[in-house]
Amino acid sequence: MAVRVVQWATGGVGVAAINGVLEHPDLELVGCWVHSEAKAGKDVGELIGAEPIGVTATNSVEEILALDADAVIYSPLLPDPKEVTALLRSGKNVVTPVGWFYPGEKEAAPLRAAALEGNVTLHGTGIAPGGISEKFPLVLSIMSTGVTFVRAEEFSDLRTYDAPDVVRYVMGFGDTPEKALSGPMQKLLDGGFIQSVKMVVDKMGFRADPTVRSSQEIAVATAPIDSPIGAIEPGQVAGRRFHWEATVDGEVVVRVTVNWLMGEEHLDPAWTFGEAGERYEMEVRGNPDFTVTVKGFQPDSVESGLESNNGIVATAAHCVNSIPAVCAAPPGIATYLDLPLISGRAAPRLGSASGPAS
């Protein structure tokens, strides 16, 4: 029997997740929640630019809660714990890229109680946070002993992110430095990336200070920069850099950094991506030291990114491919540390009729 899946929200991640579910041999899309009245009542195929698939979108939370489904991919712009609690209590496993990667006990308690009541599991996943920033550095660290430092870092051109309202009003690009620095972005990012750092600290056994140190930097435009939010004028925010660090006696042992630039020209300070270009990097210092560079999650060009952003597709894929393991996990909250090895699945035309080997 296929796992019956609901998609919650149809932004970039949501659309990619729907396509992923439709391609996955063990999953069946049975429902879709949408925010807007304009999308409600439409066939989900129409919403993703494809042929009708026989699943109608709804903006009724009650209809989704009443639906016979095994799992929900919960991917709104901002998480609402009340919505997730209701989904869990209704007996639906929840996989999400917007939080709960490694929640603290105070945050986890009501969600764990709802999951136990519904006999289901909550799992946070994604790309950064939710993959590059903790899961994969931990996996790679097995190749080194006596580890003294772990770093995960993103270098991305934000001109490829086709969400202009989010880029301007949430991320603060095109605003004054003062408004950007006091805006919501640091707090929003803290919720996920602090959990990433704490997961690495706890799993690797660092005697780190309990407080994860957060900081941010701003670069401004020195000349007009074309972007999806319009021209960024001189003096306006055109680059942002965020750091999260765990320390032992003042020594940084885990660092996660995000570098978001509106291109590499006309910036002050003169930030660039460096010779390696856009990428994700993971570094482990120990015996031996090594650095892993991951290419391909950032689009080849601004134009291709606006059409389909690889990082968004990868985020959705991580959610989609996790669903069978999450549904099989004991009830409660499951992190990467609780789940078995999860992989992608073969394309339908190349897949085995008997399914994956056990």
The Cα–Cα gap between 204 and 149 comes to: 10
DSSP 8-state code for residue 275: T
Could you count the other beta carbons within 10 Å of the beta carbon of residue 236? Answer: 20
Residue 280 contacts residue 128 (beta carbons within 8 Å):
yes
- Taking Cα atoms as reference points, which of 266, 259, 270, 269 lies closest to residue 234? 266
| pLDDT (0 to 100) of residue 353 | 64
- Residue 345 zone, left/alpha/beta (φ > 0; ψ -120 to 50; rest): beta
* CA pair distance 265, 45, nearest whole angstrom: 40
Phi and psi torsions of 236, nearest 5° = -90, 160
Contact (CB, 8 A) for 194 and 244: yes
Q: CATH assignment of 3-126+313-350, given 3.40.50.300, 2.40.50.180, 3.40.50.720, 3.40.640.10?
A: 3.40.50.720
As to burial, measured by CB atoms within 10 angstroms (0-12 exposed, 13-18 middle, 19+ buried), residue 237 is buried
Q: List the chain residues with pLDDT less than 70.
A: 353-358
| Burial track 19-45 (b if 16+ CB lie within 10 A, e otherwise) | bbbbebebbebbbbbbeeeebbebbbb
SS3 content of the chain, % helix, strand, coil (to 5): 35, 25, 40
What are the residue ranges spanned by the domains of the chain?
Answer: 3-126+313-350, 135-296
**String of DSSP letters for 304-326:** HHHH--HHHHHHHHHHHHHHHHH
In this structure, are residues 225 and 266 in contact, taking their beta carbons and an 8 Å threshold?
yes
**C-alpha triplet 172, 254, 193: angle, nearest 5°:** 35
**C-alpha closest to that of 336 among 123, 116, 105:** 123
pLDDT value at residue 346: 86
Structure tokens at 308: 């389909």
Tell me how far CA of residue 260 lies from CA of 234, 235, 298, in angstroms: 17, 17, 12
Beta carbons within 8 Å of 311's beta carbon, 6+ residues apart: 127, 156, 297, 298
